[in-house]
Amino acid sequence: MSDTLLSVQGVETYYGNIRALAGVNVEVKRGEIVSLIGANGAGKSTLMMTICGSPQARTGTVTFDGEDITRVPTHLIARRRIAQSPEGRRIFPRMTVYENLQMGASLDNLKFFNEDVEKIFTLFPRLKERQAQRGGTLSGGEQQMLSIGRALMARPKLLLLDEPSLGLAPLIIKQIFDAIKVLNQEQGLTVFLVEQNAFAALKLSNRAYVMVNGQVTMSGSGKELLANPEVRAAYLEGGRH
Amino acid sequence: MTNIANTSERAGGNLTAQALREGFYAGVISLGLFVLFVGLETTQNIRNELVINQRWGLLAIFVIVAAVGRFLSVAYLRPWAAARKASAAARPVDEEVSFFKRNFSKIAIVALLVYPPLMVMLFGVQGSLKWVDNFGIQILIYVMLAWGLNIVVGLAGLLDLGYVAFYAVGAYSYALLSQQFGFSFWVLLPLAGILAAFWGMILGFPVLRLKGDYLAIVTLAFGEIIRLVLINWTEVTKGTFGVSGIPKASVFGIWSFDVSAPNNFAKAFDLPMSSAYYKIFLFYLILALALLTAYVTIKLRRMPIGRAWEALREDEIACRSLGINTVTTKLTAFSIGAMFGGFAGSFFAVRQGFVSPESFVFLESAIILAIVVLGGMGSLVGIAIAAAVMVGGTELLREMTFLKAVFGPDFTPELYRMLIFGIAMVVVMVWKPRGFVGSREPTAFLKERKAVSGSFTKEGHG
């Protein structure tokens, strides 16, 4: 078994005639936390969606666990155990927290549900308190926890997180990032993270990529990029004028 | 007329004064509105000349109704509603619900089971016909259709405006196959369901990528296509003449309801001949079919496919990212919903003994959809109540002969059916925008249901 879990090679993705990704190369190794940072509209979420096959890449390949999944339909990609907490969380608002988690476990037809749901409730005790409540009535942070919890219910090999910190208070962001760290260190879960909150993401990650205008312009370990003056100017101090 | 919110807080005398004032305004406005519409009527006399009739009395009635109605609404109705709302808000949430509310569906089923014998006891064998047939069967057909459509619209969230097409497929399947091949009702009932389910899939395939408004338009067109085929394919369907002389159903082949048959039901039990027995049998038949629909819906909701339907209604993209095949999920929703439409259709054919394309116009689809929406999408109890109110209510109009005494002998209340249907819909949507039963009942719990569940709080995305 090779060391690489996910490999994106020369991927170009279009929305109609607009090129959103212009030849992206990204690699995620087993057991890593890799983050992708960049400004609005850089194509971060598009890359995440391309990995999931919606939209599919026009050129280039996406390889997961040694298998080419570039042309595989989205729901079959999910069945290969790539779980996603999508942008905007996309929980099921009229279903209860408990039912949302059930939906996450539908790949195995709830076979491991009882066992796994306890794990999720240990990781996010707030969800246990709210389990009978409808998803739409949760706060933003709780919805994010639910979205991650639902993704974890699928027993993923790779967890894709699209802006988990979006619109959340710093304290909640810390809770969520701590949880990601715990998952990675204790269960060896591989995480690919898209973030605007570059500081928190880089601190958490083993490696990171910086994306500008649909292309990866820089990569390195989280520490390197944190120390890099260009990255500091563009993503870390830029917002604090 | 603007200070609506403050009225209830003011002193009583002040309120009456305001009510009087608003009543007066309402009277003036309605006078202005109706003076030409109602006060004057133009007709032609025998020499084809245009004559103006003055109807000041009728105009006065309109104005008085508007003024008094406004007065009563401001002075009494609104303070009463506000007080009720305040007391409801003050009540604790975990209050024990009444026995009646908790066991509503069981009580309703028992009531429906004893309904025909009760009607026979009250009105006699012949007298019960109207109550069992016009009210009981008519309402239950719509309950069943609405429950079938609920799978597509309420659970899977696919807006289907052509549901009546499957109803038609079921009805014509029974009508034609029973006449051509002499199959019995019990053979053709499942067959009609399968055929309708098949057509459901045929509709499903091209519309897989559509959602919301676009889906609604295509399904609307599909319903019309089926109807036009039924009208124009005259060699098979006899066109607008329809298919008549459809054989009656029997009690599993043991007793027949044909007058000449040796095993006639009335003869077998030494009862006087009457069509009422057949109607009572049909009543129990449609009740059983409707309950089957409800049972299947309840069971499916707890199964993976039912959960997938509901998740699909909420968020299609999230569904796909969880590994749910949205194609099969949509197709099963369409075909299972259509299957129940087909069952209802073959029942309709057996009840009428006659089918024609006129029974399957778009208005039927709209009424069924209206019942689903009014009942609260996804709620079986709410939909049944909505069907009883809307269908039973319009049926009741026929009974209101006393209205002739008020509005004159030319007044036929059933002509106002759609008007009242429309008003009722507007009222319900203002009063309960999510239908009679607006909150969704969860299908799974970890341990005990908590007292404060999500259904008591408002939905938001924050």
Tell whether A7 and A67 lie within a shared domain.
Answer: yes
Tell whether A30 and A52 lie within a shared domain.
Answer: yes
Tell whether A4 and A66 lie within a shared domain.
Answer: yes
Q: Is A103 on the interface with B (CB under 8 A)?
A: yes
Give the model's pLDDT for residue B389.
Answer: 86
List the domain boundaries for chain B. Answer: 7-87, 103-431
A170, part of any domain: no
- Show pLDDT as tens, one digit a residue, over chain B (462 residues): 445 444 444 455 688 888 888 989 999 998 888 888 888 888 888 888 888 888 888 888 889 999 999 988 888 888 888 888 888 777 655 556 677 777 788 888 888 888 878 887 888 777 778 888 888 899 999 999 999 999 999 899 888 898 999 999 999 999 989 888 888 888 889 999 999 999 999 888 888 888 888 888 999 999 999 999 999 988 888 888 888 888 877 777 677 777 676 677 766 677 776 777 888 888 999 999 999 999 999 999 988 899 999 999 888 888 988 889 989 999 999 999 999 999 999 999 998 888 989 889 898 899 899 899 888 888 888 899 889 888 888 888 777 777 777 777 777 777 777 787 788 888 888 887 777 776 777 777 655 444 444 444 444 443
Tell whether A74 and A100 lie within a shared domain.
Answer: no
Q: A204 pLDDT exceeds 80? A: yes
A62, part of any domain: yes
Tell whether A44 and A76 lie within a shared domain.
Answer: yes
Does the distance separating the beta carbons of B457 and A137 come in below 8 Å?
yes
A108, part of any domain: yes
Tell whether A224 and A107 lie within a shared domain.
Answer: no
Does the distance separating the beta carbons of B304 and A109 come in below 8 Å?
yes
- The CA distance from B301 to B446, in Å, is 17
Domain that holds residue A130: 84-156
Q: Is B434 on the interface with A (CB under 8 A)?
A: no
* CB burial readout B334-351, b (16+ within 10 A) else e: bbbbbbbbbbbbbbbbbb
Closest Cβ opposite residue B446 in set A52, A98, A150: A98
Q: At what angle do helices B326-352 and B185-204 cross, to 10 degrees?
A: 140
Does the distance separating the beta carbons of B454 and A107 come in below 8 Å?
no
Contacts of A110 in chain B (CB under 8 A): 304
Min Cα separation B438/chain A (Å): 11
* Residue positions counted in chain A: 241
Sheet harboring A82-85: ordered strands across? A82-85, A158-162, A190-195, A33-38, A207-212, A215-221
Q: Is B308 on the interface with A (CB under 8 A)?
A: yes
- The CA distance from A41 to B359, in Å, is 54
Tell whether A2 and A76 lie within a shared domain.
Answer: yes
A112, part of any domain: yes
In chain A, residues 27-56 whose CB comes closer than 8 Å to chain B? 52, 54
User: Which of A132, A156, A180 is at the close of a domain?
Assistant: A156
B168 close to B227: Cβ distance less than 8 angstroms: yes
**pTM over 0.90, yes/no:** no
| CA-based nearest residue in chain A for residue B443 | A99
Please, which pLDDT band fits residue A18 given cuts at 50, 70 and 90?
very high
Tell whether A196 and A77 lie within a shared domain.
Answer: yes
Q: State the total domains in chain A.
A: 2
Q: Is B449 on the interface with A (CB under 8 A)?
A: yes
A178, part of any domain: no
Tell whether A68 and A8 lie within a shared domain.
Answer: yes
Q: Is B181 on the interface with A (CB under 8 A)?
A: no
A132, part of any domain: yes
A99: its two tokens: 């039912």
Contacts of B318 in chain A (CB under 8 A): 86, 90-92
A175, part of any domain: no
Does the distance separating the beta carbons of A75 and B440 come in below 8 Å?
no
ipTM for this prediction: 0.87
A143 close to A87: Cβ distance less than 8 angstroms: no
Torsion of CA A118, A120, A123, A126, to 10 degrees: -90
